[in-house]
Amino acid sequence: MNFLTRALPYIIPFCGAFLLTFILTPIVREINRRLGMVDKPGERRINTIPVPRGGGLALVIGVIASFSIYLSLAHHTIIQNGWLGHGVYIKMAVLSIAMALVGYTDDKYNLNPKIKLIAQLIIAALAWGWADLGFRKLWPSLPAWLDCAMTIFWIAGAVNAFNLIDGLDGLASGLAFIATIGMGGALFMVNASHQAIYHFAFAGGLLAFLKYNYHPASVFLGDCGSMFIGFTLSILPLATEGTNSFLVSVGVPLLAMGVPIFDTALAIIRRSIRHMIKKRNTSEKGNDKVMTADSDHIHHRILRSSHLNQRRAAWILYAVAFSLVAIGLFGMALESRAAGLWLFAISAASFVIFKDMARIELFDAGRFLNAVARDRARTHRRRIARLAIPFYIVFDILALIAVFFFCYWVLRMDIDRVEVRVALPIRVISVFLFLYIFKAYKTVWSRAMTSNYVSLLLACIFGTAAGSIAIYYAPTDNSQIKILTLVYATTSAIAIVLVRLLRGIIRDIFYAIDCSRLKGRKDVSRVLVYGCGLRYRAFLRELVRTTSENNRIIVGLIDDDILLRGHYIGGIQVLGTLAQTPEIINAQNVDSVVIAFDVTPEWLTVIKKTLGPLGVKITHFSFNEKEILQ
């Protein structure tokens, strides 16, 4: 009985918001249908039948009306404590309704994105100035102007995050439900449960609306609902009182809204890069507006890559959101050991982010940089040429400094101020001078040969030796100068070579990204290369150089050397010999075979006889020296 008494302040708001939203949603759905507020199937739409939008109005009324009634009737001391009893809720409710009305107007009349953004910023500014919501409760010494800017950015970012993520049936409402439960749970963990009463009311409304919004949805949130959700989730952490916990006010909310925030950040990066590409190349397909919608959001990618239905795709993102919330709450429970968990979470998130960005955002960035690098205009070419040498110089110096400290760490030698003041400059300058003497900064490293890298090695050896001689007579510790010289010469040579290989490594990374991107397309030609020698590497280099224009992908290699089978050459596996080609072509769904060696007429006949019945295209990649007649 005592437990029930303590639970009633949470159960009643939850049930009230649930019942009112559950009743109002079909009514609002029918009203919006008659008003013509219907999302019809289209290029960017996932729904296959017309579905009314703007149903979030029922959520707004259900949550705010039910909780306001409960608040006015309840006289329990748990309500009088905290922000609920200080008049902040009234201002929050007014601003929430204002944000929802902006969204509902957009659902009806399709507002200009800039006008909608200005309205969002104004309401966010009022939340800071009028409702007294901001980060200064967490950081009291925060300057007012910075607090205002952070608050507006936080609120507007969350509003647009949920607006953009609302692309699958039940996705935005489901993610918001998980986020609300997580944020409320954080308050319970810091003994601020009285602050979580509105969280329960909000969760009840979300759960009721999810009944109609879950796939197959009979009504959509629309901008009205998604903007209300984003605004509510952004201001709830700012309104909490009685705790200065960073995890409660910032950490858990960030994780709870991690999926929408990540999707929004990618959208900004992606559209900005495409805007720059469009400005350089007017023939590029697609729009050039940063604020114009596209079909590359996280849920679109999941649907395309995994061929799942909306329901399963939504559950994948639910699981991600739940995992992030669990990490945040578990981190709070660990207290002093939370830093290790957060480091693990950040590392895992960084891997996922890079993997998700690779196919689109990083690929588009590579396209843009490649276009700039290949610009035929003289001014651009000269600018890039002037930047090449300073690039190598700066990175060489940084690499030599890093190697110096690395050597001391590996050898477990103590390093003091004398070593830094005397030994470090001597080491770096001596190797740098020999790099200059061996013409390292006059070599075109994108077309370097083995002899050029041998010169780098010699420059590092002679430079390190000269530096060691100078250090020997300097006032420093010379007890381990021999082993230090050997390690520094070897390590500096490796570092300097890596700086030269950086461009090729980046180019190969973008080619790997391109291959990953092309695997999911149906209009790509799948190539099998016959021959693993020099011509294959030249052919692969041509594909790498034309990444942004490429529509072919190498799926494997064949070679008559049976010892090569199963090995990888240039990142591509040798699948077998010519005799095994029919089975390989069927297994890999090959469209064409490229012969990458000097083939004789007799062997070409054998190739045609083997591959001819398979119906694949056969080409010959060659580079021949021909005399030009005068």
Band of pLDDT at residue 291, cut at 50, 70 and 90: low
- Number of structural domains (the chain) is 3
Tell me the mean pLDDT in the region 452-467: 89
Weakest mean pLDDT among 115-119, 207-211, 287-291, 529-533:
287-291
The CATH code of the domain that includes 581 is 3.40.50.720
* 54 within a domain of the structure (yes/no): yes
Mean pLDDT in the chain?
Answer: 79
Domain match, 65 and 100 both: yes
Weakest mean pLDDT among 205-219, 285-299, 606-620:
285-299
- Quote the pLDDT of residue 29: 93
Q: Mapping DSSP to helix (H, G, I), strand (E, B) and coil, where does residue 448 land?
A: coil
How many angstroms separate the CA atoms of 425 and 435, rounded? 15
pLDDT tens per residue across span 409-440: 888 888 878 788 888 888 899 999 999 898 88
Residue finishing a domain among 307, 334, 366:
366
The 525-530 sheet, strands edge to edge: 568-569, 572-576, 552-558, 525-530, 592-595, 617-620
Task: Please indicate, yes or no, whether the overall pTM of this predicted structure exceeds 0.75.
Answer: no
* 379 within a domain of the structure (yes/no): no
* 381 within a domain of the structure (yes/no): no
Domain match, 449 and 532 both: no
- Quote the pLDDT of residue 381: 47
Residue finishing a domain among 487, 510, 533:
510
Token pair recorded at residue 597: 């060696």
**Four-residue CA torsion sign, 491, 494, 495, 496:** positive
Please, are residues 592 and 617 in contact by the beta-carbon 8 Å criterion?
Answer: yes
Domain match, 289 and 225 both: yes
Band of pLDDT at residue 210, cut at 50, 70 and 90: very high
Provide the percentage of residues in the chain whose pLDDT is more than 90.
21
Tell me the mean pLDDT in the region 572-595: 89
Q: What is the distance, to the nearest Å, from the Cα of residue 338 to the centroid of all Cα atoms in its chain?
A: 24
Q: Give me the residue label for tokens 């010999």.
A: 577
Domain match, 321 and 467 both: no
Residue finishing a domain among 484, 510, 536:
510
* 377 within a domain of the structure (yes/no): no
Domain match, 160 and 11 both: yes
Three-class SS of 33-87:
HHCCCEECCCCCCCCCCCEECCCHHHHHHHHHHHHHHHHHHCCCHHHHCCHHHCC
Count of all residues that appear for the chain in the document: 630
How many angstroms separate the CA atoms of 132 and 216, rounded? 41
Provide the percentage of residues in the chain whose pLDDT is more than 70.
75
Query: Is 433 exposed, middle or buried, given 0-12, 13-18 or 19+ CB atoms closer than 10 A?
Result: middle
- Identify the top-confidence range among 277-281, 516-520, 531-535: 531-535
Domain match, 76 and 27 both: yes
Please, are residues 555 and 585 in contact by the beta-carbon 8 Å criterion?
Answer: no
**133: closest CA among 179, 171, 96?**
96
Weakest mean pLDDT among 189-198, 420-429, 493-502, 565-574:
189-198
**At a CB cut-off of 8 Å and minimum separation 6, what does 118 contact?**
none
Q: Mapping DSSP to helix (H, G, I), strand (E, B) and coil, where does residue 629 land?
A: coil
The whole domain housing 405 covers 386-510
Band of pLDDT at residue 31, cut at 50, 70 and 90: very high
**267: closest CA among 357, 332, 390?**
357
pLDDT at residue 145 greater than cutoff 80: yes
- Identify the top-confidence range among 183-192, 223-232, 323-332: 223-232
Domain match, 527 and 483 both: no
pLDDT tens per residue across span 329-383: 777 766 555 555 555 566 566 555 555 555 565 556 555 555 555 555 545 444 5
Residue type at position 344? F
Q: Mapping DSSP to helix (H, G, I), strand (E, B) and coil, where does residue 503 land?
A: helix
**376: closest CA among 295, 280, 512?**
280
Token pair recorded at residue 605: 């006949």
**111: closest CA among 196, 269, 18, 227?**
227
* 220 within a domain of the structure (yes/no): yes
How many angstroms separate the CA atoms of 369 and 186, rounded? 44
Band of pLDDT at residue 195, cut at 50, 70 and 90: confident
Domain match, 118 and 185 both: yes
Domain match, 398 and 464 both: yes
The DSSP letter of residue 548 is G
Q: Is the peptide bond before 216 cis (omega within 30 degrees of 0)?
A: yes
- Quote the pLDDT of residue 140: 77
Question: Bridge-partner residues for 530, per DSSP?
Answer: 558, 595
pLDDT at residue 205 greater than cutoff 90: yes
CA dihedral 344, 345, 350, 351 (to 10 degrees): 70
Q: Mapping DSSP to helix (H, G, I), strand (E, B) and coil, where does residue 146 land?
A: helix
Query: Is 285 exposed, middle or buried, given 0-12, 13-18 or 19+ CB atoms closer than 10 A?
Result: exposed
Please, are residues 205 and 59 in contact by the beta-carbon 8 Å criterion?
Answer: yes
Whole-number Cα distances in Å, 462 to 339, 386, 392, 431, 448: 46, 28, 19, 7, 21
Stated as kind and residue range, the H or E segment containing 556 is: strand 552-558
Band of pLDDT at residue 126, cut at 50, 70 and 90: very high
**At a CB cut-off of 8 Å and minimum separation 6, what does 191 contact?**
none
Domain match, 423 and 279 both: no
How many angstroms separate the CA atoms of 362 and 369, rounded? 10
* 228 within a domain of the structure (yes/no): yes
Three-class SS of 566-620:
CCEECCEEEEECHHHHHHHHHHHCCCEEEECCCCCHHHHHHHHHHHHHHCCEEEE
pLDDT at residue 61 greater than cutoff 90: yes
- Quote the pLDDT of residue 301: 72
* 378 within a domain of the structure (yes/no): no
Whole-number Cα distances in Å, 229 to 96, 224, 303: 9, 9, 24
- Give 511 or 329, the one with higher predicted confidence: 329
Please, are residues 183 and 256 in contact by the beta-carbon 8 Å criterion?
Answer: yes
Question: Bridge-partner residues for 557, per DSSP?
Answer: 529, 574
- Quote the pLDDT of residue 18: 95
Tell me the mean pLDDT in the region 537-550: 67
Domain match, 345 and 466 both: no
Alpha helices (H) in 190-309, listed in sequence order: 197-213, 222-239, 246, 252-256, 258-280, 298-306
* 625 within a domain of the structure (yes/no): no
**569: closest CA among 556, 579, 560?**
556
- Quote the pLDDT of residue 348: 60
Domain match, 251 and 393 both: no
